[in-house]
Structure 1
Amino acid sequence: MEIALRPEMHTYSGGLGVLAGDTVRSSADLELPMVFLTLASREGYLRQEIDSNGRQIDHADPWNLEDWATPLDAMVAVRIEGRAVWVRPWLHVLTCPIGHAIPVLLLDTRLDHNDPADREITDRLYGGDEAYRLKQEIVLGVGGMRVLHALGFDVETYHLNEGHAALLAAALLREHPHPSDRPRDGALSYDADRVRERCIFTTHTPVEAGHDRFDYEKAGRLLSDFLPLDQMKLLAGPDRLNMTRLALNLSGYVNGVAIRHAETTRRMFPGYGIRAVTNGVHAPTWVHPTFAQLFQGFAPDWGHDPEALSGADQLSDNAIWSAHQKAKDELLAEVQLLTGAAMRPDIPLLAFARRMTGYKRPDLLFTDIERLRAISRGQPFQLVMAGKAHPRDEGGKALIAEIHAHMRTLSGEIPMAFLPNYDMALAKKLVAGADVWLNTPLPPYEASGTSGMKAALNGVLNLSILDGWWIEAWVEGVTGWAIGHDDQRHEGDAQNLYDKLERTVLPLYYTDRARWLRMMKDSISKIGPRFNSQSMMRRYASEAYLR
């Protein structure tokens, strides 16, 4: 549904899209024969404004599709509510530094051929109501498959990235009637095994709201006679059209995006074989230029082969600290430009940048304001936060307002800033310029998380709840620190966060710079070689695509 290709193309909302963009970039680096599809999203996702009271104001975030993509001379039609809705692909070509190109197709319904109500289907990412979302998923899944056929792509394997694309598998099913002319009652009339041979499915969220479900009456009205209702219920659940269930039933390879996430998903969907391919990030995209120059000195091929970053533990202390301070200076300049807040380069900077929603617990740090004050009086620190709440997530918007209220309360005591309109460009500055990357989700709702991987590539130390990818990368006092324990009791997480800050993280920064620098080098050399999208794509290619 979303792919973050570049900041100027507003075809993404957050981590899922940024991961998809890194997947494109590494597929180009590795010369994999792939083509990617997404929606045009001409109106973007959300441009965030923060008012004087700290409340999020939502705006459309339009961009010029014509500036970054080329319209192709092909159109296909899908039927929605009995009408033909025409879909036109636009081509964006992503070319890696060594020259291999990957096509990305952006699906667009803003065409004169379409009914005025249908022209806006592909306009707003995650916009509109349930019917609007289902229309988008019809265009993405059914229209996407037909576009590939129309353009002459010979596709062996379809990789469904989240349940949004599940109707592609259902469309494939229509092409394969059951080998028996008269299947028994209650059985599929189609050959699902043939479809499973061609589809793999990656699920990305343990949050119930992240799994799209549609009312069958509404789905029947929009999809018309796409698949008989009894057949759809066998595949997508008896009560509602569950896109995750549909993808699970029609994919021969299914995976979660971290080892812990795969375990959680198996509990959510018992009976399915769900593997784990832990996410990774595209190192050349997220490494700050000062660090890239350092890496070039000992591993000229690090961008193509991030495993070479294991040699980062041999960097000199002066070199790594100088590189970090340059990245920090750039971030502090951006903070002052966006918010007016003047911060100091010699005081440790904590960063928290996530989608603003309840389970991410962006307010955990503010649980005990007096304790926070006491810590800062003894060992000063600074805090920068960023993140958008979904336009319909009133709880997330309330959290943003609450955070701003806390910042006003602590004004003059703890330097703090909230950077508006968090996007890919701002993320690059944050993950490189912070000293500590703070991550506080409520387990087990963090599927993977990739921002901490980007920070680690730049020597930024993670201070995180043990969930998602961090359980796999965490070595206490070596690659970073854990908040709390790997158990089901999280009522003490705030207290543990304060203890870790006061007794471990801040004292180390102020009193043992040599050890801090050792951890920065360990963060790069132990996390970078493993948690990168090159390694991720090699695993997909060998374990899923070529099975």
Structure 2
Amino acid sequence: MTLPSALTPSSTPDLSARTIAYFSMEIALSPALPTYSGGLGMLAGDTLRSAADTAAPMVAISLVHRRGYFRQKLSDIGQQTEADVPWSPETTLPSANRIIALTLQSRQVLVRAWRFDVVGVTGHIIPVFLLDTDVEGNDPWDRRLTDHLYGGDTYYRLCQETVLGLGGVALLEALACRPKVYHMNEGHAALLAIGLLEDHLAGIPLKDATEADIEFVRQQCVFTTHTPVPAGHDQFGVDQMYQVLGHDRGAAIEQFGCLHNSLMNMTYIALRFSRFVNGVAMQHGKVSQQMFPGYKVYSITNGVHAATWLSPHFQELLDGEIPNWRTDNQYFRSVYGIDPARIAAAHNKGKLRLFSTIAKRTGHHFNPNVLTLGFARRVATYKRASLLLHDPKRLVEIAEKIGGLQILYAGKAHPADTAGKGLIRDVFASAAKLNSSALKIYYIENYDWELGALLTQGVDVWVNTPRRPYEASGTSGMKAALNGVPSLSILDGWWIEGCAENTTGWAIENGEDEAAEATSLYEKLEKSIAPMYANPGAWSRMQQHCIAINGSFFNTHRMLAQYFENSYFPPTPLSTVQTGYLEHRRSTDTVVAEAALV
């Protein structure tokens, strides 16, 4: 496997000047590297690409995932099977030239790292270190620990997350990198706090740590939670905790109040040890606050990296008209100075490119003059991929009335998600019954970075139908908006903030049940979307609004700036003290006095 030349790593930057360490279980670094599964990894990669573009003093830690997430294969009836996506870091990336040792499962595990450089538009580098336990001398089982992203059982996952958290802290110390801020992107990395506490105690047993010691670590840590779905918060049995981490660390986690419902819960460890906690959209922050009432939860709405997700045709248009958009995404507002017809033409080129790629891959042909809806995301039951197909008869009638309708689906179900796999089969079954001259439904296999880009750049309307309030943010609709594509979506996640009715898209009205929400979807499709699509002038103005209004805000340049202002280096650190910490803190005059001096 060969990296694109623009992404080939160069000399290591001065790590001693890096003040922020970003930890994430998955990071989408390049289409050529299978180091991500979906939205969380894409967000992490986009964050680091914006950090590189804006010369942020960051460094990142993840795992190497030698066998990737998986490649999806779909049968004629939509039965999903999975295959590994193996790659060799030895032949792809330079080594970090460090091996650190962890005590894991009562034995020593050696960990090395590979380096990937994210290079910004001005040449600034964000080094990303991918931890790897496939080291000679390790137990054969341990050598596979960093192979599969989200693979294995809970024991395997806890070992992985221990490598990420404790191993990442140890690696940065070995590289003489001493950040002031450690950002946990989701709870997978929460054990980094235990590593920082051990370093701070310098040999003093963890059981002797005081609240002042914990506060010292808290002042270095911030935490972003990404999901209101309970299954998204990793938890492990106490017996597993002691078996993997050992008695001292396990007892300390209990002592510090990090168990929840008698389980080791990574989210609660992150909450306990972080001075700033945020959800990833305004609504998600509110939902998370209700989930964790003992802690103050803020919100910083997600974004996407514009230069990664804009189609080549839009990039060419904007480079000629508003070239500063690459370093300052607020310039997307300036698309109001571009003729809407040129915006429509740029999008149409993306649509033709999408259809051409589908034809080459599958032999299926689509009409670029027909309204095309896109639905692509991780397949989980709460995302309700079949809501669009809730009333087949009504859908067919609409397609016939408006002169045709095309619907493109894509998405992977987790290998262990039987219900998610069933949803894919349901879409296939509906397509087999409904496909006609007026209505075409097609499910594209192996949803990945490249296919995601083609879809968000090429469809006419982006559809999202999650069950409220389980959509934390969602970013695919943001990518679509950058390319002039409006959304038709349930009012949840980012869309609460991004929906300007009939201007940037349409809201599916909240209903008492799925039938009511499906009815709202069909009403908007038939009476609002189709008539506007039939009016090229009105449609091109909507495309312009999508870029100017949503593109200028829902980007990682803005998002990262908010992290710096509110999370990493807030002007008044005391304002970030969490109520959860205050509940835990020992009420001694000494500790109170120390906290007052922070």
Q: TM-score, normalised by structure 1?
A: 0.96
Q: CA deviation at 1:181?
A: 11
Contact 1:352–1:385, Cα closer than 8 Å, also in 2? yes
Query: What are the within-5 Å matches in structure 2 for residues 50-449 of structure 1?
Result: 50-177=74-201, 191-229=213-251, 231-232=253-254, 234-238=256-260, 239-379=262-402, 380-413=404-437, 414-449=439-474
Range with bigger deviation, 451-460 or 88-97: 88-97
Residues 181, 482 of structure 1: alpha-carbon distance in 2 compared, 3 angstrom cutoff: closer
| Cα separation, 2, equivalents of 1:436 and 1:52 | 26
Q: CA deviation at 1:255?
A: 0.4
Q: Map Cα deviations across residues 359-405 of structure 1 (whole Å, 9 max, x no partner).
A: 11001011111111111111111011100000111110010111111
Q: CA deviation at 1:227?
A: 1.7
Residues 320, 216 of structure 1: alpha-carbon distance in 2 compared, 3 angstrom cutoff: same
Range with bigger deviation, 199-208 or 313-322: 313-322
Unmatched segments (≥5 aa) in structure 2: 1-24, 571-598
| Cα separation, 1, equivalents of 2:253 and 2:427 | 48
Q: CA deviation at 1:183?
A: 9.6
| Cα separation, 1, equivalents of 2:528 and 2:26 | 39
Report the equivalent of 1:28.
Answer: 52
Contact 2:344–2:543, Cα closer than 8 Å, also in 1? no
SS of the aligned residue for 1:74 comes to strand
Contact 1:456–1:527, Cα closer than 8 Å, also in 2? yes
The match for 2:66 among 31, 39, 42 is 42
Q: CA deviation at 1:68?
A: 3.4
Residues 381, 190 of structure 1: alpha-carbon distance in 2 compared, 3 angstrom cutoff: same
| Cα separation, 2, equivalents of 1:168 and 1:80 | 14
SS of the aligned residue for 1:191 comes to helix
Contact 1:173–1:190, Cα closer than 8 Å, also in 2? no
| Cα separation, 1, equivalents of 2:200 and 2:79 | 52
Residues 210, 527 of structure 1: alpha-carbon distance in 2 compared, 3 angstrom cutoff: same
- 2:270 maps to a residue whose letter is A
Contact 1:341–1:416, Cα closer than 8 Å, also in 2? no
Q: CA deviation at 1:63?
A: 2.0
Contact 1:177–1:189, Cα closer than 8 Å, also in 2? no
Query: What are the within-5 Å matches in structure 2 for residues 444-523 of structure 1?
Result: 444-485=469-510, 492-510=516-534, 512-523=535-546
Report the equivalent of 2:8.
Answer: none
Q: TM-score, normalised by structure 2?
A: 0.88
Q: CA deviation at 1:289?
A: 1.2
Unmatched segments (≥5 aa) in structure 1: none
Report the equivalent of 2:30.
Answer: 6
Percentage of identical aligned residues: 44
Contact 1:339–1:417, Cα closer than 8 Å, also in 2? no
Q: CA deviation at 1:190?
A: 6.8
Q: Map Cα deviations across residues 411-461 of structure 1 (whole Å, 9 max, x no partner).
A: 224112111111101111111001000111111000000110110000011
| Cα separation, 2, equivalents of 1:463 and 1:78 | 49
- 2:333 maps to a residue whose letter is S
- 1:195 maps to a residue whose letter is V
Contact 2:207–2:251, Cα closer than 8 Å, also in 1? no
Q: CA deviation at 1:54?
A: 1.1
| Cα separation, 1, equivalents of 2:257 and 2:541 | 52
| Cα separation, 1, equivalents of 2:263 and 2:367 | 54
| Cα separation, 1, equivalents of 2:371 and 2:40 | 30
- 2:397 maps to a residue whose letter is A
Q: CA deviation at 1:340?
A: 1.9
Residues 484, 192 of structure 1: alpha-carbon distance in 2 compared, 3 angstrom cutoff: same
Contact 2:100–2:171, Cα closer than 8 Å, also in 1? yes
